[in-house]
Structure 1
Amino acid sequence: MPKHSKILILGGPGTGKTSVINGLKNRNYTCFDEVSREIIQQAQQEGIEQLFLTDPLLFSQKLLEGRIKQFEEAEKINEPVFLDRGIPDVTAYMDFKGDTYPEEFLQANKKYTYDQTFIFPIWEEIYQSDNERYENLEQAIEIEKYLEKTYQSLGYNLIEVPKVSVEKRVNFILENIKSNS
């Protein structure tokens, strides 16, 4: 596994990404958590229930800034790093919502690239809404389509993670990471 690998964990809402990130952390891998929950919780403390719905562009700008910061931090780490969601997720969600965004969003998709991408498919049996996840299952399925389209248009090879236990998902990812060769 290359020392500076940036390995992206992506997928629609409620697909088990955070559980797998936590499983990787438990095995002492460096992981960056999803930044949107922090942004959502901060907005809620300021009285804005769903910033993504109230001001999608502001929310997306904050997400983009947070994910770029994570990417730049990952570049400094001399070991593989796992990231929960990536920079192109921002434009995928904006496209899903049907909103416009500045060219800088698209430029960020091209400037900051990940070494490997694992996609978690929608898994109806584990899907749950919560305080920060406003999407219903049908919306989650649509978001997944936008994510796939966005990442594939950028040339990413999406490796689908099977619908198995967290431990088996972690093992699958670790077994399928590119080697140094």
Structure 2
Amino acid sequence: MKTKRIVITGGPGSGKTALINYLEKEGYAVMHEISRDVTLEAQRQGIEQLFLENPILFSQKLLEGRLRQFHEGKNCAAPILFYDRGMPDVTAYMDYVDSHYPKNFADTCIAHSYDEIFVLPPWEEIYEQDNERYESFEQAEKIFQFLKNGYQRYGYQIHEVPVGSIQDRAQFIIATIKEMTT
């Protein structure tokens, strides 16, 4: 049986990580977000916001890390593998900041495809800024649109996850996946 690769994405502060953590506690296989790791590593090297200071380098590191996760997913024996963000997030963010990026970014996204994409909309009630999340809520709303457009540009059908409890969101995703496979 082939593992279904499922991306959960959305703008900053939309509840992705909490949802991924919940799914993991429920026994699902997951690949965690790596952008905070990239940001924290740059901060240890004295670069406060690598994405703002060198968006190409930051994005290259993210793309490489997400590609590594994609390849690691080939070893997953579980029927479903959830990713906290996918490779097309990289180009969507670059489009958001209106920055040119190398052709290989898009080529990588095209060559490595996921099975389903779930996007979480902005949710002001749970949105919080912190040291690694510097975007305002209004910026998070714009990023959400760029993410949807970015995935659609690569030919994906987007499933928008309704705002609600973590359990309700997880149930929506699992039910949608089951519908797609029956």
Q: TM-score, normalised by structure 1?
A: 0.96
Q: Please name the residue that 1:82 is paired with.
A: 82
Q: Please name the residue that 1:159 is paired with.
A: 159
Secondary structure of 1:176 counterpart: helix
1:106 and 2:106 equivalent? Answer: yes
Distance in structure 2 (CA, Å) of the matches to 1:77 and 1:95 = 31
Q: Please name the residue that 1:35 is paired with.
A: 34
Distance in structure 2 (CA, Å) of the matches to 1:12 and 1:180 = 27
Unaligned runs of at least 5 residues, structure 1 = none
Secondary structure of 2:159 counterpart: strand
Unaligned runs of at least 5 residues, structure 2 = none
Q: Please name the residue that 1:16 is paired with.
A: 15
Query: Which structure shows the bigger proportion of residues in helix conformation?
Result: 2
Matches within 5 A, 1:93-132: 93-132=93-132
Secondary structure of 2:177 counterpart: coil
Two-structure CA RMSD over aligned residues (Å): 1.1
Distance in structure 2 (CA, Å) of the matches to 1:131 and 1:33 = 19
Secondary structure of 1:168 counterpart: helix
Distance in structure 2 (CA, Å) of the matches to 1:130 and 1:81 = 28
The percent identity for this pair of structures is: 49
What do the CA deviations read for 1:138-166 (whole angstroms, capped 9, x no partner)?
11111111111111111111111111101
Secondary structure of 1:131 counterpart: coil
Q: Please name the residue that 1:146 is paired with.
A: 146
Q: Please name the residue that 2:59 is paired with.
A: 60
Secondary structure of 2:125 counterpart: coil
Cα shift at 1:137 = 0.8
Distance in structure 2 (CA, Å) of the matches to 1:177 and 1:145 = 23
Distance in structure 2 (CA, Å) of the matches to 1:180 and 1:125 = 34
Cα shift at 1:56 = 0.4
Distance in structure 2 (CA, Å) of the matches to 1:113 and 1:26 = 26
Q: Which runs of 4+ in 1 moved over 6 A?
A: none
Q: Which moved more, 1:18-27 or 1:152-161?
A: 152-161
Q: Please name the residue that 1:73 is paired with.
A: 72
